[in-house]
Structure 1
Amino acid sequence: MGDIDLTISNERTYTQSQMEAIIRDVVKQMDIEREDKINGVEIPRQVSEELDNTPTHQLNENFKKFRRETQRYVMGERTTPEKINKSVAPYLKKHSTETAMVVNTI
């Protein structure tokens, strides 16, 4: 019961005009968000200048590199094969074992 009394005392009361102003603000914000989704968000000026000043072939190379290096996920699972860290690879090569030995220990 003490919690209920505490919640009731924290409630705020608004006048009709205050509620109308709040509703107008919410509707205005929703309209802005809807318009941004339809028209897209304007890209920053620096990005636009960078795209204009970079040669097309360099942009294509950068995009290909980005696509290669980007992890791909489907339903939270990584779809690109995992790679062994280059600094660890020599260590792993030193300690090779035969598969038959591993299977027998399991």
Structure 2
Amino acid sequence: MAAPDRTDRPEPATDHDGGGGALTVVDVPDASRYELRLDGERVGLADYSIDGSVVTVPHVETDPAHRGRGYAATLMAGLLDDLRDRGRTIVPRCPFAASYVRDHPETQDLLAG
């Protein structure tokens, strides 16, 4: 499956961690994943596959050295914001992704029917 055109891509979502570092959620279509980067270093990822406008997320992880800081939630928030911006929906196969959507009612309209 060909990767969608990224020429109309908005700037990646950026936040700051408690230590002042810049957190950025970036779509990496060649790897079929979103990455969470801390000052440019990948600290988390969410694998995906796309079928039309439906994005299936089978796996979300945070690098062990960076766990316990809420980074997986930051990654999911950025991923879901991007899906919303692109008019896509999600099938959260990963237990963490599914619980994130369940625990954030404002994102449940993104669930693929």
Q: TM-score, normalised by structure 1?
A: 0.20
Task: Compare relative contact order (CA 8 Å, sep 6+) and give the higher one, 1 or 2.
Answer: 2
TM-score, normalised by the number of residues in structure 2: 0.19
Bigger-Rg structure (1/2)? 1
Q: Which has the higher helix share?
A: 1
